[in-house]
Structure 1
């Protein structure tokens, strides 16, 4: 199951890159230190995915640490991209798959 999660993380990155949402420069450390869900007060959702969500999950997988019991990123992504003119269907599908994989992993 962990290998499928890792593959899905790679797919999320690929989708962010394809949509032109991948940033080369990280946001300031203060922005990453937000305690709000999804860092909504300091980051855009694509930034949160790139600089918080993906690195955290990669680290948990690499160190064989327990994954979160539940994952529900897709509803936030659907809301964020609702008014977007970007073709985000594939990204949303990958995030939905990741939500299921993480939530079902013991």
Structure 2
């Protein structure tokens, strides 16, 4: 697992890079604020319900949550399922909001 800062992620998004971003927060958190990407709550990953992203095993997958803890867990779980390039967003959306607002 690698780490990415919110500044690095935002710069890559603004540059128009085709990114595979995964939000592992709960529905209510995502409804409140999100930066896009595929939504698969951590519980679904824990249950191995990852059909939506199965084809990304060889791609970079950037994962975010509220603070960076659940996304780190998701990175580790996905690595055990064969994902080769997981990236945790350090500090999660709390850090994003602090740096850039909503």
Q: TM-score, normalised by structure 2?
A: 0.32
Structure of greater Rg? 1
Higher strand share: 2
Q: Which one has a larger percent helix, Structure 1 or Structure 2?
A: 1
TM-score (norm 1): 0.32
